[in-house]
Structures are given as C-alpha cells and as structure tokens.
Chain A
C-alpha cells in the first residue's frame, strides 16, 4: 500500500513539472527531427546545383596558348562541369600554389605539355592535382577530374585493344542508373537511414532515464524530506521501490510516446514485432535505472551523480555509433561493451524484418546485463541503503 502511495506521488511530481515533460516527450522528437533533417542531404545524394562550385586553378605547364590541351578545355566548357568547377587560368605552378595557400583557389590542376598527344598515342599521360584547404572542395573537384580522366582512360584502352574503330562508336544513353540502392529489408517497408538514428536516439533517451532517477533519489535527500518520510511507518525498501516504480512507469510512457509519435509525425517504421520491441525497451530501462541507482547510492551530491551519468550516457551512445558515423570495426569491437549496442542492433533487425533467430542472441545478452546490474543494485542497496 505504502509503495503505491509513494509511486503515485512520484508520478504526480514528475508530471507536474513542465520542464520535465518538455524534456521527456518533446526533446526526443526534436532530436529525431534534427537528425533526420540534417542527414537527409546525405541519404539522398545531393543535387548538383546544391554544391557550391569549386575554384580551380588550371596551369598549363607548357606555357602560352600553344600548348593548351583541347580535351581539358572542352571538359571545362561543358555545362554540367561548369556547375561544379570554376576554372581560373593560372600562369605558373608557383602562382597556383600561392593561391591555394591564401585560399584564392580551392584546388589546382597542372596540365603537362603534350597531354592530348600522349593520350592519342596511347601512352602514359598524367595530370597533376594539388589539394587545397577544404576537404569537401577537394572531394568535389577531385571526383570531377578523376571521372573525366577515367573516361579518357577507358576510351584509350578501347582504342588500344580494339583498334581505332572504337572511337567512332557513339556513346550509350543509359536510361536506368548503373547502380541501385539495395533494399536491406526482408519484406515490409523500405528502410531509411532516419530509422537508424531514431533507434539510437530512443536508446539514448532511455539511458537518460538515469537522470530522472538521480532527480528522484536526491530531491528528498536535499530537501530534507527524507527524514520526515523515514519517521513515518514506511519501510525504506517500500519507499525506494515506490520511487523507482514511478520513474520506471514514466520512462515506459516516454518510450511509447517516442515510438508512436515518431511513427505518426516522421513516418519512422519500427518493425513488425511490437511486443519484442517493447520488451527490449523495458530491458533497456531496467538496465539504465539499475545502473544509475548504483551510481546514486555511491555518490554524495546530485551534481556528481548527474555528471557521471551524463558522461556515461553520451559515451555509450557515441561508442555504439548512435551519434556520428564511426568506423565499422569500432562498432563491433568497442561498441559491444555498451548496452545500447545490443538493444539497438535488435531493434534495427526488427525494422528490417529479420528472423527471430537473429534477434534472440541480443535478447539473452540484454537479459544477462539486466540480471547482473540488478544483483549489483541489490547488493549495494543492502550495503549503503537510501537514507540521509
């Protein structure tokens, strides 16, 4: 009975605080939106007109107009190239290098004398690129010139291997792209990258449940109301369990709200196993709560507990690859030491309609983690207890 009273009071306390509500329900949606919106440019390829053209210094090593390469000139004059590259004729290599260093040019291309003739004779021909200050500009200009060179390379090879007739063959007009994005899905809706980030954000917010735990445990301590409660006929364990039940219930609600709202508002598809999804979320909540309880029991002030939980949450989300794309070797080595990793992988598999057999190992690992954390929590509660 006492446990219920305390739980209901805890719920009331949480729901009365407006900033709490903002935090728990609005913020995750804002984050999913932010992630989806900022990375939408990455998901679909950027349109050419969205890329700022790159200023490229073109140096003719031969000097003067006589040695100008007709191929390069024709390439630079093409309208689709002009969207990407603004060519500046530059006198010498030294001038181009100076321009690169001051930021006047973003990329430089040195055309050796007799480039065209070498290509036509089927000999080795090389353009020299000098990389500039900006990573993206280097990428854009480098790719454009590389594509141009490789087209010439294949043309040259065709001529060398098949004879000069190959030059007369008209270019093919491909209707469909040569490459398609494969569907990872095993039936069901198509998968988008925003689903990945929705799953990782959900995990992060469930980890942040830990902060609610600190709030709940420390507020009575710091307001000195814990004294008063302790003087009532309430057992310490009842108080503790009641508080945690309250926080747990709010977290479950939060989790449901994130799933339902992101599905409705942003069309995030959460997969075909709602029951299992909820089970994973529940395990995640248990893991995160028990973990923060242990931290709270052993820290003296709420500031230090909050600090530790904050740092750990962010680190775990980051290491499991939830924030920024990480090298893949990481995700499966260091990432495996985080709770997020196991739950997130399972949720993504559910989104992709993978078989139950592939999800179950993750479930066992999560259960194991929760069991261990529960034991640690019980032991430390017995030892430290919750009192002033």
Chain B
C-alpha cells in the first residue's frame, strides 16, 4: 500500500509540483470552465434577438410583430429592407429574420396565400420556435381574414378596418393560458455547462495520462519494474495518481463555480462531484487505452484529443441528445458523456438512487473495462521510441 501511495504522490508532485504546473493543469482550465459557466449561465436565459423587415402597411404585419413581442421571449430589431435583413442574418446579428412582404394584409383578405419568409443562418432552438410561432399566428390570421371576407360585403377599406378590429380584439387575449412554474425542470444551461465541464475533464485527463506515457518512453517504467514493486502496485499507483490530480481539478472547478461565480447547480454538490469523478475514471480508461494501443506516444496524445470531440458531440455535450435522429441516439449510448449527463439530469430533477444507479453502474462498468485494457500502457517493454 505504501508503495502505491509513493508512486501516486510522485505523480501528483510531477504534474502539480511547480508553479507552472499548477498554472497549466489547474488554474487555466478552471478559469476557462468557470468563465464559460458564468457566461452561459448568465446569457443563456435572456431573450433572443429576432430581426424583421415589415413592408406590410395593413394590420397583419403589425399584429404579428406585437404578438411576438408580447411573448417576452424575443427582442425585435427592425431592418430597412429585405437585403439589409439578409445581410444582418448572415452577420449573425439575430437568431432569425422575419420578412413580411408588401401588401400582406390585403392579400390575406383577398383570399390569396401570401407567405412570410424566415431567414436563418443556422438552426437553433430559438429560430425553430420563432418559425413555429410565426406559422401559428399566420395561420390564425388567415382564418380571421377569411372570416372577414366571408361575413362583410363592404369595400376593401371596410374589410381592412374590420380585419384590424378582429386582430385588435385578439390582442387582448381573452382566451389564453396561465403558466405555473415550480422549477421542476433543470435549466437548459445546466446541460451545456455539464457537457463543457466533461469535455475539459477529458482534455485534462489526457495530459496526466501522457505523464505515464512519458515514463514508458523515457524507460523509467522499465526501472520501476526492476525495483521491488509488484506490477499491480505500479498500475494502481499510476492510476491513483492521475485520478487524484483529476479530483483536485474537479474540486477547483466546482468550487470556483459554486462559491466565486455563484452558479446554482440545482443539485447537491456532492452528487455532481460523484458524477464527474465517475466520468473521469472512464476518460482515464479511454486515454490509457488509446495510449497503450498506439505505439508512437505523441500521436497517442493527439488521437486522444480528437477522439474527444466526436464522442462529446455524440454524447450530447454540445446539444441535447433528443434533437438527434434515432440511430444517432442509439449510438450515443456508447459514449460515457451521455450517461454522465443523464445522471446530472436525473439528479437535477430530484431523482433518487433508484434511478441514479443505472448511469453510475454503466459508467463504472465502462471504467473497469477500459482501465483493464488501458493498463497495457504500463507494459515496460514497448518504449515506442520513434520519429
């Protein structure tokens, strides 16, 4: 046991022993993660900017915009004409651009089917919801215009006035809904924040596993094996060392977020810590498996960092898994990120261990398998020195 601790302690000293080590392995990543946490947490909930250009002189265009504004989810910004709207959408000045054509109201009353155009540079949740809302309002306005045309036989000016009256009445929202929100659902930003934290953890683990790799390359591993230590002690010592470094990183990141940036994780810190620790074991397994399988140590580090991003995408670190097609969702089951995020989700909605055991069991299983395979990294004979 003593020997294991010696090896582990040596590992920690090597990575965190110097000021530079603390700076690169602890301070830089924690500041980055904490910065992302505070920015995403602060900005994510604000209203999305929606651009518009309204060429319609009638009631319909105004009604559409005032209805959107009234939801409180959007900040509307006007642009001069269609070209300016397009340019602004390309410049990503807003999530979406709404273009209401000239004579839209008149065309509605005349029973034609005028169309509103929506411009978006890339799909995002807010742009999709804007599209749905505009679609619903436009459909209802078409119905109303139809009713006006059918009921009143007056001149077109009369019809315009009546149409405006109907829309004005609708703006009062006599029939509507009342939302009671007990904050049962986790905030959307929690998913993104967890995802990014997971990604950074993986990067960090890669660098501490590369220390083990350095030992192998520098033939230190060979010397270690010739000392009176058992091979399992070397394995445990090395893994324990990088695990402890990881734990320190997690603690720093979490406490920065919790006590300095005051981000509300919406769940017990201890549970969040457990999820991250379990995930870190798995990523240690991945890192060491890759490092063990690939002879050239430098490429191992690189491949590792590049395994990271695809699995993060697939595992739902960057966007919710639910928006992906079915076969991709099934593939996602093979990534540890998915299970870690699921565990956080369950914990944040107040689920107990009767639900939490599954993601934890899967994470531990992954960790066990990968670490076993990954312990080949400790084979001293393959130094893998090559260009």
Q: Please list the residues of chain A having a beta carbon within 8 angstroms of any beta carbon in chain B.
A: 13, 16-17, 19-20, 22-23, 27, 30-31, 34-35, 37-43, 45-46, 50, 97, 100-101, 103, 119, 122-136, 138-139, 142-143, 145-147, 149-158, 160-163, 165-166, 169, 171-172, 174-182, 184, 186, 193, 196-197, 208, 211, 215, 218-219, 222-223, 300, 302-304, 306-308, 310-311, 314-315, 318, 321, 323-325, 327-332, 334, 345, 348-349, 352, 354, 358
Contact = CB atoms under 8 A, between A and B. Distances in A.
B72 interface: no
Given A127-B178, A154-B141, 11 more contacts: A23-B302, A38-B325, A39-B319, A128-B180, A131-B185, A151-B143, A155-B143, A160-B169, A179-B138, A182-B97, A304-B21
B140 A150 contact: yes
Interface in B178-219: 178-182, 184-186, 188, 192, 196, 199-200, 203-204, 206-207, 210-211, 214, 217
Nearest to B183: A131
Contacts of A35: 313
Given A182-B99, A184-B119, A303-B207, A161 B174 contact: no
A125 B303 CA distance: 60
A39 B123 contact: yes
Given A37-B325, A166-B151, A314-B199, A101 B184 contact: yes
A154 B144 contact: yes
B102 interface: no
Contacts of A100: 182, 184
Nearest to B177: A127
Contacts of A101: 184, 350
A316 to B, nearest CB: 11
A328 B95 contact: yes
B144 A157 contact: yes
Interface string B97-139: 1010000000000010101111111111100110110111111
Interface in B304-363: 305-306, 309-310, 313-314, 318-320, 322-326, 328, 349-351
B122 A179 contact: no
A179 B131 contact: yes
Interface residues of B, number: 121
B374 interface: no
Contacts of A138: 185
Contacts of A186: 86
Contacts of A166: 147, 151
Contacts of A122: 174
Given A23-B299, A41-B325, A308-B24, A179 B174 contact: no
A145 B185 CA distance: 19
Given A131-B185, A303-B211, A154 B180 contact: no
B159 to A, nearest CB: 11
Contacts of A133: 184-185, 349
B167 interface: yes
Nearest to A135: B185
Residue from A133, A196, A352 having most chain B Cβ neighbours under 10 A: A133
A184 B121 contact: yes
Contact of B166 (A130, A136, A158, A172): A158
A41 B169 contact: no
A19 B323 contact: no
A169 B147 contact: yes
Contact of A145 (B177, B301, B326): B177
Contacts of A146: 136, 177
Contacts of B306: 23, 27, 208
Contacts of B129: 139
A200 to B, nearest CB: 9
B143 to A, nearest CB: 6
A142 B91 CA distance: 32
A163 B151 contact: yes
Residue from A43, A219, A323 having most chain B Cβ neighbours under 10 A: A323
B6 interface: no
B268 interface: no
B25 interface: yes
B93 interface: yes
Contact of B178 (A128, A222, A223, A331): A128
A169 B150 contact: yes
28 contacts: A13-B387, A37-B325, A38-B324, A42-B128, A136-B322, A146-B177, A147-B136, A150-B137, A150-B140, A151-B143, A154-B144, A154-B170, A157-B174, A158-B143, A158-B144, A161-B162, A161-B166, A176-B113, A177-B135, A182-B86, A196-B121, A223-B385, A310-B305, A311-B28, A311-B200, A325-B125, A327-B43, A327-B44
A196 B122 contact: yes
Contacts of A97: 182
B184 A157 contact: no
Contacts of B166: 154, 157-158, 161-162
Given A158-B166, A162-B162, A184-B119, A325 B124 contact: yes
A153 to B, nearest CB: 4
A163 B151 CA distance: 9
Contacts of A151: 140, 143
A219 B298 contact: yes
Contacts of B140: 150-151, 153-154
Given A154-B140, A323-B318, A37 B90 contact: no
B152 A179 contact: no
B121 A348 contact: yes
Contact of A181 (B46, B120, B170): B120
B203 A31 contact: no
A348 B118 CA distance: 18
B67 to A, nearest CB: 9
Given A169-B147, A169-B151, A219-B298, A132 B184 contact: yes
Please list the 4 inter-chain residue pairs (A to B) with the smallest Cβ-Cβ separation, ordered nearest first. Answer: A182-B117, A178-B138, A157-B169, A325-B124
B177 A126 contact: yes
A223 B387 contact: yes
